Amino acid sequence: MKQKFAIKVDDLTVAYDYKPVLWDIDLAVPEGVLMAIVGPNGAGKSTLIKAVLGIIKPIAGSISIYDKPYKEQRKLVAYVPQKGSVDWDFPTTAIDVVMMGTYGSLGWIKRPGQKEKKAALEALEKVGMLPFKNRQISQLSGGQQQRVFLARALVQNASIYFMDEPFQGVDASTEIAIINILKELRKAGKTLVVVHHDLQTVPEYFDWVTFLNVKKIAAGPVKEIFNDDNLTKTYGINYKVAINK
Amino acid sequence: MSITEYFELVITDYTLRTITLGTAVLGAICGMLGSFAVLRKQSLLGDAISHAALPGIAIAFLITGAKDSNVLMLGALVSGLIGTFWIRGITSKTHLKSDTALGLILSLFFGFGMLLLTFIQKQPNANQAGLDKYLFGQAATLVEKDVTIMVFVTGICLIVLLLFWKEFKILLFDADYTKTLGFNTKFIDILITFFIVLAIVLGLQTVGVVLMSALLLAPAAAARQWTNSLKVMIILAAIFGAFSGVLGTAISASDNNLSTGPVIVLVAGVFVLFSFIFSPERGILFREIRFRKNRNDLQLKKTLQFMYGIAKTHENISHPHAIRILNNFQGFTKGSLRTMEEKEWIQLKGQEWSLTPVGFEEAKNLFNQQKND
């Protein structure tokens, strides 16, 4: 059976100033996987996502989403940025932030209406944030803010989800809530790419993994490639982790 | 002329009416656009732009030899825009941070502008007198033509704001995300910046290059204190700005012809100060009151809990105990004991206290309550 690839990256090189952050990355993400990108700080994990999404302009290389350039496939893609990338003291409410997920399909000038509001409420319900819909966003806890960001991506109703450290700074109950939603999305046939830091949970949460440290070290099914050898190559030290499965 | 006389005159006097309308419109547009500058953390950009406009004013005068405010404004606009794009260029093309770029452009342009101004003042051209009014502003020089332009630009700005409201809002909150949704963030960004530059240039004649940025920022900073909604914030900032403009002009015109800029800015400053102290949610005063009340509340409950610990060792929970056994416990006073008695948690008799059944139940549920608060 020929495998269908949701995301394909060829020869991608990205540099800030003179120093390459990503070097010659080739990556093919099969449709329907829940993939972790792991690697040390400064390995270029966020940069890889941002380059695929067109936020950062690469120096060289090509990127395709279902065999077409990202620009043509935008509506298939949703993005959850790092929570710390925005100012949470911005004067707006949880539901307003979630509604922003509908702006892409609305396009220029057109305002969100009842349909969009309904979608936003459903997404809030899914992440367990419905009771907080009118809360000013600075009054939400870190975990709640992360849930709002996730809801905003859910509203986009995409096929591919890019998430930048969705588990950062959240408590256990939020982490479980989020991973359950991610697993549910995968069951529905969606492809998920998640920048992840906690190596212990990789085998439990993900079925696909990419090791990254400026270069791609390895990519493939967690069961096959999540081992000491690759971890050592990626992190530069003999990284012992318990692999249960 | 006193302030009241001034406002009586506004109704009858055409010139004063023009000036008042002009400063109101100016304050409103500055407040609106200033909200964007504040929320984008570009508060200093306004300062740099207004200072960068000065050489444009001087050069426009040198070329035309006339003090026509429209021509001077055009000069200011061009040089303000050049300054803005240089700031952006420096930030994106070099390692310098934006505050350095802002400071650099601000002082270079302003220095150059001052140089030209001194040069102009040494010229025998009688027309040059009054060009220095652009430093601190003089609302009295506003004529109908100036105000017409202000109203026109504000109108366009409002239309653009309403049209691109959703785009402005999402760009302000999360620019990267906006890009992934397919919006041309550069276009939105330039649109916002262009209008900010325009508002600043409009205000130079009234408020002056030195203090112009304050009229941009102060109303927005004050408005942020009162609301958690972007829409309300912008409307409030426009109102605060308009009031600052009108009141400031009135005070400056009614008393010895003070420079308008400083007075407008001081009035706007009063709005800021008042908002920082008295706004219900974010203001210092009510925050402090809430803080104290919570503290007292907690102290009361902790005392009750301590009593509960003693009382529950007795068969009769209302068994009286000496007040002095509380002595090694922090945070109780005669006053707090009386408050507890008013709440019917305890009964005081001489030097003794006893827990009531109400107090006992209250104490028992304290921890759960605290958690659910």
Q: What is the pLDDT of residues A14-24, one digit of tens each?
A: 998 778 899 99
For the stretch B211-214, contacts whose Cβ atoms lie closer than 8 Å and that sit 24 or more positions apart, written own/partner, are: B211/B136, B211/B137, B211/B261, B211/B262, B211/B264, B211/B265, B212/B46, B212/B47, B212/B50, B212/B137, B212/B261, B213/B43, B213/B44, B213/B46, B213/B47, B213/B49, B213/B50, B214/B265, B214/B268, B214/B269
Q: Which of A85, A106, A111 sits opposite B176 (nearest CB)?
A: A85
CA distance A22 to A233: 16
For A132-165, b/e burial (b = at least 16 CB within 10 A) is: bbebbbeebeebbbbbbbbbbbbbbebbbbbbbb
CA distance B200 to B49: 8
Q: Which residues contact A184 (CB under 8 A, 6 or more apart)?
A: none
Instruction: For residue range B199-220, list pLDDT tens digits in order.
Output: 999 999 999 999 999 999 999 9
DSSP string over B284-327:
HHHHHHHHHHHHHHHHHHHHHHHHHHHHTTSSSTT--EEGGGGT
Instruction: For residue range B47-64, list pLDDT tens digits in order.
Output: 999 999 999 999 999 999
DSSP string over B97-125:
-HHHHHHHHHHHHHHHHHHHHHHHHTSS-
Q: Which of A53, A91, A106 sits opposite B229 (nearest CB)?
A: A91
Element (H, E) at B344: none
What is the reported pTM? 0.87
pLDDT at residue A245, as a whole number: 47
pLDDT at residue A1, as a whole number: 46
pLDDT at residue B373, as a whole number: 44
Q: Which residues contact B206 (CB under 8 A, 6 or more apart)?
A: B22, B23, B26, B137, B138, B139, B142, B245, B249, B260, B261, B264
Contact B22, B206 (CB under 8 A): yes
Q: Kindly determine whether residue B172 and residue A136, on different chains, have CB atoms separated by under 8 Å.
A: no
Q: Tokens for B243, please give them.
A: 């009031």
Q: Note the ipTM here.
A: 0.92
Q: Is the pLDDT of residue B370 over 80?
A: no
pLDDT band at B257, cuts 50/70/90? confident
Nearest CA in chain A to B93: A17
Q: Tokens for B273, please give them.
A: 């100060």
The chain-wide mean pLDDT, for chain B, equals 88
Beta strand residue intervals within chain A, DSSP E? 5-16, 19-30, 34-38, 60-65, 77-80, 160-164, 191-195, 208-213, 215-221
Nearest CA in chain A to B94: A17
Closest CA–CA distance from residue A64 to any residue of chain B (Å): 14
Count of CB contacts below 8 A, A vs B? 75
Which residues are registered as beta bridge partners of A19? A16
Q: Helix, strand, coil % (nearest 5) of chain A?
A: 40, 25, 35
- Helix, strand or coil for residue A169? coil
Q: Kindly determine whether residue A136 and residue B228, on different chains, have CB atoms separated by under 8 Å.
A: yes
Q: Tokens for A125, please give them.
A: 């319900």
Q: Which residue has the higher pLDDT, B255 or B184?
A: B184
- Helix, strand or coil for residue A210? strand
Report B:261-290 residues touching A (Cβ under 8 A). Answer: none
Which residues are registered as beta bridge partners of B346? B355
CA distance B133 to B142: 12
A28-37, A41-50, B20-29, B305-314 — which is least confidently predicted? B305-314
Instruction: For residue range B281-321, list pLDDT tens digits in order.
Output: 889 999 999 999 988 888 888 888 888 888 878 878 788 88
CB-CB neighbours of B369 under 10 Å = 11
DSSP string over A42-76:
TSSHHHHHHHHTTSS--SEEEEEETTB-HHHHGGG
CA distance A145 to B113: 48
CA distance B162 to B170: 14
CA distance B78 to B6: 36
Nearest CA in chain B to A101: B181
Q: Which residues of A make CB contacts under 8 Å with B? A: 17, 50, 53-55, 71, 74, 77, 79, 81, 85-87, 90-93, 97, 100, 103-104, 106-112, 136
Instruction: For residue range B356-369, list pLDDT tens digits in order.
Output: 888 888 887 876 66
CA distance A38 to A212: 6
CA distance B219 to B223: 6
Q: Kindly determine whether residue A104 and residue B181, on different chains, have CB atoms separated by under 8 Å.
A: yes
Domains and CATH numbers, chain B: 3-282 (1.10.3470.10), 286-372 (1.10.10)
Instruction: For residue range A106-156, list pLDDT tens digits in order.
Output: 989 899 999 999 999 999 999 999 999 999 999 999 999 999 999 999 999
CA atoms within 13 A on the CB side of B317: 16
